[in-house]
């Protein structure tokens, strides 16, 4: 009987050890791509490759629709139900880090030294998130229109000045060939506003908040430069150069393609579709309104939740997913800008001489992140409203003063968004 | 004189029909737009929105959007989830709320007016204000299921059903309706020796067709259109309902044709439910009342 017990014990021990050696610890992961067939296929491929590449970790994916993703994450954080790995839109990362949803990546930042600046989520001196791609905005134009209107083609080194840009608007309007000179996408009153239009304010010399300490917007959002931006912004609609906030959403997608507008201020995610329909489309850099030519940076990035007990495994996955071959695969499939130059060379569109290579240059040279502060989630909403109100004819100074008051009150209410 | 009266009558009829047609058009056109748009390509759909073509089956029509919708999202699963959650909640709600209403009207227990007032007071509390506390509560509740004792209700059907079974409005509807029932019926049944449960089941409920239909329709609409609650308590696709599923179609460039196809598909259960209940509703009205 004793012998039998010993044998059974040995068997159990042996089975236990062998299963431990082969068992993979499950890592849960959330991703914002539900409903996006191409993106889902790619992310699943990366996960399958990772799970097969080693025996320690097994990543299990749960996909969410992008529109409601942030609400799901916030609710899960409250209920203590966050996954190990999650992705997030760049500008919201500081808020989630400050709220305690995230932990810094246990990965040496030097590993990402070749990544585009917009793909690195650094808050409070620590790397919290890393992206496989960045996005960029450019001025869409037709070569034929540029020639007809006698306009100089701007370059990264020598973008249009404010005068040149306004002369282009005037020429396009006076040609009588278009419904309006430029489509700015005014119907999309979400994150598009700060992403696409804040760079104009920055180029005028203003900003959404004083970035030295992120404690106040006074003087930057309602200073002389910001007032000049507001007057110019309002003039774009008053003079009929751009359709206002009542623009048909369909026109931001198809207006330029259908020839309704001479120019479109649009993202690189629409570039592939536009190239297929407009043979001589060109992607031009943002104008320089006096303080440099700037566009918005920062797209979706991976991070690790503060609740994760397997940060090392999650970090292994993130390192695995940020290989050049996956950056290139994402770029080829969904048209976004790969995070590294070496990955860009592996893609059809972004390699040197490729039709979208200009976007890589734009992102590298001009991308400026939206304010890296937890308060950005409120500030972006305030900016959306102010930009829309000014476009609708509201008094510029009053609107910007009110926006500053709102932003400053929010910062005060949150005790300066100091880190815990 | 008779001719003038007849003319006035005809004019009134014409005006009445014109008003009715106008109202019908206002209600039918959005549905027509949805169905027609679901058959068009995105480009054509958007181009047609500026004219009456939006409501007509013109241009290149196909079922491609429907195929696209099924490819993009597990439509069948979402519809099943919503129908299951909605159906279960409606049935349980009718049972629980009618019993509560019965108790408030017919059982003369002490303090019932205070309790009823408290329940009615919940009508002025918007759900959004209690969503987060409720989320924290359900995330820690115990449950005994197939795997034994578990903690937390998140990611399940029960979390979408149980908190919605009893509500002030449905109880109020039953209370109001029961108050209007003839007291002689209840007294007669009591004299005959029926228990309260028998009276509830055999006397009161068979007479309550209209209120059951009304409460069921209202509850159905609330449940089928649930968005915020399932969004915050359900993280797994397996349990997602139709309204959260709708978000699958809003990418950077929304797939409008597929959105219309999806909306058409998820409207089918609502129409079916309404048609079934409409018959029950009419039948119950016809058979209600104390028969001579």
Structural domain boundaries in chain B? 1-62, 75-287
Plot region of B152 (φ>0 → left; ψ -120 to 50 → alpha; else → beta): left
A279 found inside a domain: yes
Contacts 24+ apart (CB under 8 A), B39-42: B39/B63, B39/B65, B40/B65, B40/B257, B41/B257, B42/B255, B42/B256, B42/B257
Q: Give me the pLDDT at residue B284, please.
A: 55
Q: Give me the CATH code for the B75-287 domain, please.
A: 1.10.3720.10
Q: What band does A18 get if pLDDT is binned at 50, 70 and 90?
A: very low
Asked whether residue A128 falls in the same domain as residue A185, the answer is no
Asked whether residue A163 falls in the same domain as residue A289, the answer is yes
Give the number of domains in chain A: 2
Q: Give me the pLDDT at residue A169, please.
A: 97
Plot region of A126 (φ>0 → left; ψ -120 to 50 → alpha; else → beta): beta
> Are residues A35 and B232, on separate chains, in Cβ contact within 8 Å?
no
Of A36, A71, A250, the CB nearest to B232: A71
Asked whether residue A89 falls in the same domain as residue A225, the answer is no
Show residues of chain A in contact with B260, CB under 8 Å. none
CATH code where residue A217 lies:
3.40.190.10
State both tokens at A356: 């979208």
ipTM of this complex: 0.82
Predicted confidence (pLDDT) per residue in B150-180, tens digit: 899 999 999 999 999 999 999 999 999 999 9
Q: Give me the pLDDT at residue A36, please.
A: 87
CB pairs A-B closer than 8 Å: 72
pLDDT at A21 over 50: no
A14 found inside a domain: no
Show residues of chain B in contact with A307, CB under 8 Å. none
> Are residues B132 and A78, on separate chains, in Cβ contact within 8 Å?
yes
Reported in sequence order, the residue ranges of A11-84 that DSSP labels E, i.e. its strands, are: 25-31, 57-63
Asked whether residue A156 falls in the same domain as residue A122, the answer is no
Of A63, A81, A270, the CB nearest to B154: A81
Asked whether residue A153 falls in the same domain as residue A277, the answer is yes
Q: Give me the pLDDT at residue B2, please.
A: 61
Q: What band does B51 get if pLDDT is binned at 50, 70 and 90?
A: confident
pLDDT at A184 over 60: yes
> Are residues B135 and A30, on separate chains, in Cβ contact within 8 Å?
no
Radius of gyration (C-alpha) of chain B in whole angstroms = 24
Burial class (CB in 10 A: 0-12, 13-18, 19+), A40: middle
Asked whether residue A34 falls in the same domain as residue A102, the answer is yes
DSSP label of B36? H
Q: Is A190 on the interface with B (CB under 8 A)?
A: no
Of B132, B139, B253, the CB nearest to A253: B253
Q: Give me the pLDDT at residue B282, please.
A: 62
Q: Which of B265, B247, B244, B221 is nearest to B34 (CA)?
A: B265
Reported in sequence order, the residue ranges of A192-285 that DSSP labels E, i.e. its strands, are: 261-267, 281-284
Q: Is B236 on the interface with A (CB under 8 A)?
A: yes
Asked whether residue A218 falls in the same domain as residue A248, the answer is yes
> Are residues B247 and A81, on separate chains, in Cβ contact within 8 Å?
no
Cβ under 8 Å to A: B residues 24-43:
43
What residue of A is the nearest CA neighbor of B141?
A79
Q: Give me the pLDDT at residue B292, please.
A: 34
Average pLDDT over residues A239-251: 90
> Are residues A30 and B235, on separate chains, in Cβ contact within 8 Å?
yes
Average pLDDT over residues B103-124: 94
Average pLDDT over residues A149-158: 94
Asked whether residue A61 falls in the same domain as residue A188, the answer is no
Q: Give me the pLDDT at residue B46, please.
A: 83
Q: What band does B43 get if pLDDT is binned at 50, 70 and 90?
A: confident
Could you list the residue range(s) of the whole structural domain that residue A45 is in?
27-135+298-369
Q: Is A144 on the interface with B (CB under 8 A)?
A: no
Cα B209 → chain centroid: 16
Of A35, A65, A79, the CB nearest to B135: A79
pLDDT at A175 over 60: yes
A207 found inside a domain: yes
Asked whether residue A323 falls in the same domain as residue A337, the answer is yes
What residue of A is the nearest CA neighbor of B236?
A62
Whether A283 and A139 have beta carbons less than 8 Å apart is answered as yes
pLDDT at B83 over 80: yes
Whether A117 and A297 have beta carbons less than 8 Å apart is answered as yes
Residue B68's contacts (CB-CB under 8 Å, 6 or more residues apart) are B255, B257, B258, B261
Q: What band does B283 get if pLDDT is binned at 50, 70 and 90?
A: low
Show residues of chain A in contact with B132, CB under 8 Å. 78
Radius of gyration (C-alpha) of chain A in whole angstroms = 24
Asked whether residue A71 falls in the same domain as residue A150, the answer is no
Q: Is A299 on the interface with B (CB under 8 A)?
A: no
Q: Give me the pLDDT at residue B240, please.
A: 96
Q: Give me the pLDDT at residue B225, please.
A: 95
pLDDT at A7 over 50: no
Show residues of chain A in contact with B235, CB under 8 Å. 30, 62, 64, 72, 76, 81
- To the nearest whole angstrom, how far is the Cα of A251 from the nearest Cα of chain B? 9
Q: Give me the pLDDT at residue B290, please.
A: 41
Which of A29, A67, A77 has the highest number of chain B CBs within 10 A, making it the mutation to test binding with B? A67
Q: Is A44 on the interface with B (CB under 8 A)?
A: no
Of B43, B152, B232, the CB nearest to A254: B43
Show residues of chain B in contact with A66, CB under 8 Å. 247, 250-251
Show residues of chain B in contact with A72, CB under 8 Å. 231-232, 235
Show residues of chain A in contact with B47, CB under 8 Å. 250
Asked whether residue A88 falls in the same domain as residue A216, the answer is no
Q: Is A36 on the interface with B (CB under 8 A)?
A: yes
What residue of A is the nearest CA neighbor of B138?
A79
Cβ under 8 Å to A: B residues 49-88:
49-50, 71-73
Q: Scan for tokens 């500008």, then name that residue.
A: A91
Which of A29, A36, A68, A246 has the highest number of chain B CBs within 10 A, making it the mutation to test binding with B? A68
Asked whether residue A144 falls in the same domain as residue A234, the answer is yes
CA–CA distance, A253 with B200 (Å, rounded to integer): 60
Q: Which of A319, A342, A343, A317 is nearest to A330 (CA)?
A: A343
Q: Is A270 on the interface with B (CB under 8 A)?
A: yes
Q: Scan for tokens 């000049």, then name that residue.
A: A228
A15 found inside a domain: no
CA–CA distance, A150 with A215 (Å, rounded to integer): 46
pLDDT at B288 over 90: no
Q: Give me the pLDDT at residue B289, please.
A: 46
> Are residues A35 and B136, on separate chains, in Cβ contact within 8 Å?
no
A19 found inside a domain: no
Alpha helical stretches, state H, chain B: 2-37, 42-48, 64-72, 75-106, 112-121, 127-138, 158-161, 168-179, 183-191, 196-198, 209-224, 228-233, 242-245, 256-287
Plot region of A55 (φ>0 → left; ψ -120 to 50 → alpha; else → beta): alpha
């Amino acid at each position: 009987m004793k012998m039998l017990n010993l044998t059974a014990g040995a068997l159990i021990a042996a089975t236990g050890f062998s299963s431990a050696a082969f068992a993979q610890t499950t890592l849960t992961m959330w991703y914002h791509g539900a409903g996006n067939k191409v993106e889902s296929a790619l992310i699943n491929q990366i996960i399958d490759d990772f799970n097969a590449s080693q025996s320690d970790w097994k990543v299990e994916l749960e996909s969410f629709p992008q529109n409601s993703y942030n609400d799901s994450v916030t609710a899960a954080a409250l209920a203590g139900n966050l996954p190990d790995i999650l992705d997030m839109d760049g500008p919201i990362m500081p808020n989630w880090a400050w709220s305690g949803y995230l932990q810094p990546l246990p990965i040496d930042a030097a590993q990402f030294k070749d990544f585009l600046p917009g793909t690195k989520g650094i808050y409070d001196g620590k790397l919290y998130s890393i992206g496989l791609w960045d996005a960029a905005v450019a001025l869409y134009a037709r070569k034929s229109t540029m020639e007809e209107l006698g306009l100089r083609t701007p370059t990264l080194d020598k973008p249009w000045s404010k005068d040149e840009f306004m002369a282009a608007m005037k020429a396009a309007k006076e040609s009588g060939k278009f419904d309006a000179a430029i489509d700015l996408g005014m119907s999309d009153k979400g994150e598009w506003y700060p992403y696409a239009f804040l760079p104009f304010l920055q180029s005028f010399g203003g900003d959404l908040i004083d970035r030295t300490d992120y404690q106040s917007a006074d003087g930057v959002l309602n200073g002389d430069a910001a007032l000049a931006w507001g007057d110019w912004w309002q003039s774009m609609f008053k003079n009929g150069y751009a359709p206002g906030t009542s623009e048909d959403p369909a026109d931001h997608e198809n207006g330029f393609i259908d020839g309704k507008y001479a120019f479109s201020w649009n993202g690189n995610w629409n570039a592939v579709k536009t190239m297929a329909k407009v043979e001589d489309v060109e992607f031009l850099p943002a104008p320089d309104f006096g303080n440099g030519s700037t566009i918005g940076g920062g797209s979706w990035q991976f991070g690790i939740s503060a609740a994760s007990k397997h940060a090392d495994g999650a970090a292994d996955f993130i390192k695995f997913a940020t290989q050049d071959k996956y950056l290139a695969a994402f770029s080829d499939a969904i048209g976004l800008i790969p995070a590294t130059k070496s990955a860009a060379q592996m893609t059809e569109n972004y390699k040197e001489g490729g039709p979208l290579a200009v976007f890589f240059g734009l992102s590298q040279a001009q991308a400026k992140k939206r304010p890296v502060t937890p308060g950005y989630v409120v500030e972006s909403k305030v900016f959306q409203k102010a930009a829309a109100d000014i476009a609708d004819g509201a008094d510029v100074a009053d609107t910007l003063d009110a926006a500053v008051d709102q932003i400053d009150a929010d910062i005060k209410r949150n005790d300066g968004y100091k880190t815990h | 004189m008779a001719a003038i009266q007849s003319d006035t009558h005809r004019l009134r009829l014409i005006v009445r029909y014109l008003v009715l047609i106008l109202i019908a058009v206002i209600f039918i056109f959005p549905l027509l737009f949805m169905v027609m748009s679901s058959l068009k390509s995105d480009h054509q759909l958007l181009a047609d929105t500026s004219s009456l073509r939006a409501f007509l089956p013109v241009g290149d029509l196909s079922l491609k959007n429907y195929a696209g919708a099924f490819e993009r999202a597990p439509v069948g699963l979402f519809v099943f989830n919503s129908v299951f959650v909605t159906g279960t909640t409606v049935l349980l709600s009718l049972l629980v709320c009618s019993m509560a209403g019965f108790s408030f009207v017919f059982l003369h227990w002490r303090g019932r007016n205070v309790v009823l007032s408290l329940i009615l007071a919940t009508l002025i509390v918007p759900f959004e204000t209690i969503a987060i506390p409720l989320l924290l509560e359900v995330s820690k509740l115990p449950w005994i299921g197939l795997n034994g004792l578990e903690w937390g209700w998140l990611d399940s059907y029960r979390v979408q059903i149980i908190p919605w079974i009893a509500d002030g409005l449905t109880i109020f509807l039953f209370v109001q309706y029961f108050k209007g029932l003839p007291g002689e019926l209840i007294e007669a049944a009591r004299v005959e020796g029926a228990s309260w449960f028998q009276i509830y089941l055999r006397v009161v409920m068979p007479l309550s067709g209209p209120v059951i239909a009304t409460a069921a329709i209202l509850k159905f609409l609330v449940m089928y259109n649930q968005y915020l609650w399932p969004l915050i308590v359900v993280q797994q696709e397996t349990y997602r309902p139709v309204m959260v599923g709708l978000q699958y179609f809003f990418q950077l460039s929304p797939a409008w044709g597929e959105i219309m196809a999806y909306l058409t598909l998820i409207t089918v259960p609502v129409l079916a439910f309404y048609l079934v209940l409409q018959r029950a509703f009419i039948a119950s009205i016809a058979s209600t009342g104390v028969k001579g």
